[in-house]
Amino acid sequence: NAGVTQTPKFRVLKTGQSMTLLCAQDMNHEYMYWYRQDPGMGLRLIHYSVGEGTTAKGEVPDGYNVSRLKKQNFLLGLESAAPSQTSVYFCASSFAGNTEAFFGQGTRLTVV
């Protein structure tokens, strides 16, 4: 029972490089989320999706893009990485907007 799986777990990027983080869930959840967590800042919502083919901006969307082409996958893209995007990224999913969210184990991204 995998739940929510994030890949990769760790990554080091050079400034200006691009990458995509993949989040996959096997619980048939409608809602999916991408957060970043920085020391003292808690989890801040980057983008979220309320169903296949939909996406919406969260609190800190600048510099990121997302896609939800399949219900089970939610991709987070960084087109041109900046050192300010060094963070731990968490993906989550939930059955509905007001139900328990299940998180992946996180991706530790460093941009140098």
Partner 1 sequence: RKEVEQDPGPFNVPEGATVAFNCTYSNSASQSFFWYRQDCRKEPKLLMSVYSSGNEDGRFTAQLNRASQYISLLIRDSKLSDSATYLCVVTLYQGGKLIFGQGTELSVKP
Toward partner 1, which CB reaches closer, 15 or 105? 105
For residue 32, what are the contacts with CB-CB under 8 A and spacing of at least 6? 23, 25, 48, 49, 68, 74, 91, 92, 93
- C-alpha span between 43 and 4 (Å, rounded): 17
- Residue 80, SS3 per DSSP: coil
Q: Give whichever of 17 and 103 is closer to partner 1, judged by the CB atom.
A: 103
For partner 1, the binding residues (CB under 8 A) are: 31, 33, 35, 37, 40-45, 48, 50, 56, 58-59, 88, 90, 92, 94, 96-101, 103-106
Q: Between residues 26 and 79, which has the closer beta carbon with respect to partner 1?
A: 26
Q: How far is the CB of 18 from partner 1 (least distance, A)?
A: 25
Measure the CA–CA gap between 44 and 58, rounded to whole angstroms.
8
